Amino acid sequence: MVDSPVKILSMVIFLVLVSQASSQCPLSSISVSQFKTGAKVEGQTQWSVTVTNKCRCVQAAVTLDCTGFENIERTDPELMRVSGNNCIVNMGRPISQVPLKFKYVWNQQLPLKPVSAKIYSCP
Q: What is the pLDDT of residues 77-116, one digit of tens each?
A: 999 999 999 999 999 999 999 999 999 999 899 999 999 9
DSSP, res 75: P
Q: What is the pLDDT of residues 27-73, one digit of tens each?
A: 999 999 999 999 999 999 999 999 999 999 999 999 999 998 888 88
- Residues sharing a CB contact under 8 Å with residue 89, sequence separation 6 or more, in sequence order: 51, 62, 63, 64, 79, 80, 95, 100
In angstroms, the CA 39 to CA 104 distance is 11
pTM over the 0.85 mark: no
Q: Give the N- to C-terminal CA distance of the chain in Å, as an integer.
A: 36
**CATH class as words, domain 3-121:** mainly beta
